Structure 1
Amino acid sequence: MRIRDALYAIALLLCDNAYGEEPRQDEVSASSPAAKPGRWPLAAKNKDILIKRYQGGVLLIGDSIAAKWPRDLQQRYFGAPFINLGMGGDTTSNVIWRLPYYDLNEAAAPAIVIIIGTNNLHRDGAKEIADGIETIVRKVGQAAPKSQIVVCEILPRGPGGTSYDSAIGEVNTLINARAASDGYKVLKAHDAIRDHEDRQSLYADPVHINSHGYVVLSELLTALISSNHPA
C-alpha cells in the first residue's frame, strides 16, 4: 500500500513538472507574459467585472500610477468613472499576461490609456521596456480596434528616489518615435511634471504623484482625447 502511494505521488509530481509553472517575471523578457505569485492572478482576472460596470468610459490599464488615478478627477474631467484596470507593482510582462482575460472590445472605450514601464526600470533596458509597451499596444489594438490607444510617457521620479533619468528619457524617446507607425497617441506627461513650477508638490512619494499631479495628467489627457474627437 505504501509503495503504491509513493508511486502515485511521484506520478503527480511528474505531471506537474510536465505542465510546468507560470514563468516568474524575473525569468522572462519585458515583451513576454508573466504572472506574479499569490492571489495576484485571481485579482487580475476579477478586474474584468469593471468592463461591464463602467462600459463606455475611458479605460486605463497599467501599474499603480494608473490604479491611483483619483475617482473625483475622473468624474470632473471626463464625466464618468474610468474602467480602471491598473494594478500596483505591475510590469509590462504582468499586463501582457492579464490582457487575454479582458474583453476590451466590449468596453467600448473611446480611449484606452496605457500607463506602464516604471516598474521595469530596475531590471530591463530602455529598448526592452519600449518593446514591452509596443507588445501591449499591438495586443490592445487587436482586441479593441475602434478605441484610440494612448501611451503615457514614463513619469520622472519624485524627490528622494532613484532617478533613472537616463533610462526614462530613452524609453520615452522610443515611445514617441514609434507612435505614428504603431498607431497610438502619446500622453506627454514627463516634461509637464518635470518642468512644473513646484514639482515637489506633485508627488506623494518618490514614485507616485498625488492628486495635484493627477490634475496635470487629467488636463493633458482631456486635451488629447478632445483633439481626436472634435465637436
Structure 2
Amino acid sequence: MACLAAGPAPGAVILGDSLAAGWPEPDLTAATGLPILNLGLPGDRVQTTRWRLAAMAAFALRPRLAVLMVGTNSFADGDAPGTIVAGLAALVAALRAAWAPQRIVLATVPWRESPPGRSEADRLALNAAIGGLARNEALLLLDGDAAFRPEPTHGLEADRLHLNARGYAALSAALASLLRTG
C-alpha cells in the first residue's frame, strides 16, 4: 500500500485488491491524466477495503477521481452477489462521505479461472449486479470483460487471476476511454 506522506494531494485514488495494487502507476496516470495514489492491497475483500477506507478517512484527501477495483476475493470466498454488491454500495457511500470525489469508477470482476464452487455464470451474475449498482449510484462502470475481448486469458498471468502487462494496458485504455466519454 502506498504511503500517505506530505506532498501534493493526489488527483485520483484507486482502492481495491491485488488487481488494483498491481496496476502500474504510469498506466493509471496516463489513463486518468491525474497524479494517482494507489491504495490497493493484495488479498483485500470488499469489507476489508471498507475498513481500510474508514481508517484512512481522517486524511484530508480530496481526489477528483476514485477507482474501486475490489470483489474478486469476496467472489472466490463464496460471498453471494447480493452481499458483495451491498458491500460495494456501502463502500461507495463511505468514499463519498470521506473524500467526496467528483467521479467514481466501479470496476467489474474481470474474467478469472473459476474458483472452487463458483462458475462463470456466477461471475457474470455478479457483474450484472455491479452494473446495476453503478447505474443506481451514478457511477462510471469499468467493464473488465469488454476491455479484455476477444480473448480474456491473454491479459492474465499464468495463475489465471492476476493481470499481466497486456491486461493492464487493455484496462488502462478502457479506463481512459470511459473517462473521456463518461
Q: TM-score, normalised by structure 1?
A: 0.69
Q: Could you tell me which residue of structure 1 aligns to residue 53 of structure 2?
A: 99
Cα distance in 2 between the residues matched to 1:203 and 1:167 = 20
Q: Could you tell me which residue of structure 1 aligns to residue 131 of structure 2?
A: 176
> Using a 3 Å threshold, how does the CA distance of structure 1 residues 108 and 187 change in structure 2: closer, same or farther?
same
Contact 1:111 1:148 in 2 (8 A): yes
Cα distance in 2 between the residues matched to 1:136 and 1:147 = 15
1:203 is aligned to 2:128: no
> Using a 3 Å threshold, how does the CA distance of structure 1 residues 148 and 220 change in structure 2: closer, same or farther?
same
Q: State which drifts further: 57-66 or 137-146.
A: 137-146
* TM-fit CA distance, 1:107: 2.6
> Using a 3 Å threshold, how does the CA distance of structure 1 residues 146 and 91 change in structure 2: closer, same or farther?
closer
Q: Could you tell me which residue of structure 2 aligns to residue 4 of structure 1?
A: none
2:95 to 137, 140, 148: 140
Q: Could you tell me which residue of structure 1 aligns to residue 65 of structure 2?
A: 111
> Using a 3 Å threshold, how does the CA distance of structure 1 residues 117 and 185 change in structure 2: closer, same or farther?
same
1:60 is aligned to 2:14: yes
Cα distance in 1 between the residues matched to 2:165 and 2:119 = 23
1:82 is aligned to 2:36: yes
After the TM superposition, list the runs of 4 or more consecutive aligned residues in structure 1 that deviate by more than 3 angstroms. Answer: 75-81, 103-106, 160-164
Cα distance in 1 between the residues matched to 2:97 and 2:41 = 22
Secondary structure of the residue aligned to 1:107 is coil
Contact 1:48 1:102 in 2 (8 A): no
1:7-22 correspondence to structure 2 within 5 Å: none
* TM-fit CA distance, 1:53: 4.3
* TM-fit CA distance, 1:104: 8.0
> Using a 3 Å threshold, how does the CA distance of structure 1 residues 200 and 93 change in structure 2: closer, same or farther?
same
Name the amino acid aligned to 1:77: A
Q: Which 5+ residue runs of structure 1 have no aligned equivalent?
A: 1-43
* TM-fit CA distance, 1:161: 6.3
* Structural RMSD (CA): 2.4
Contact 1:56 1:107 in 2 (8 A): yes
Percent identity (aligned)? 25
Secondary structure of the residue aligned to 1:106 is coil
Q: Could you tell me which residue of structure 2 aligns to residue 21 of structure 1?
A: none
2:26 to 72, 89, 92: 72
Q: TM-score, normalised by structure 2?
A: 0.85
1:23-62 correspondence to structure 2 within 5 Å: 47=2, 49=4, 52-53=6-7, 55-62=9-16
Secondary structure of the residue aligned to 1:183 is coil
Q: Which structure has the larger Rg over C-alpha atoms?
A: 1
Contact 2:20 2:69 in 1 (8 A): yes
Q: Which 5+ residue runs of structure 2 have no aligned equivalent?
A: none
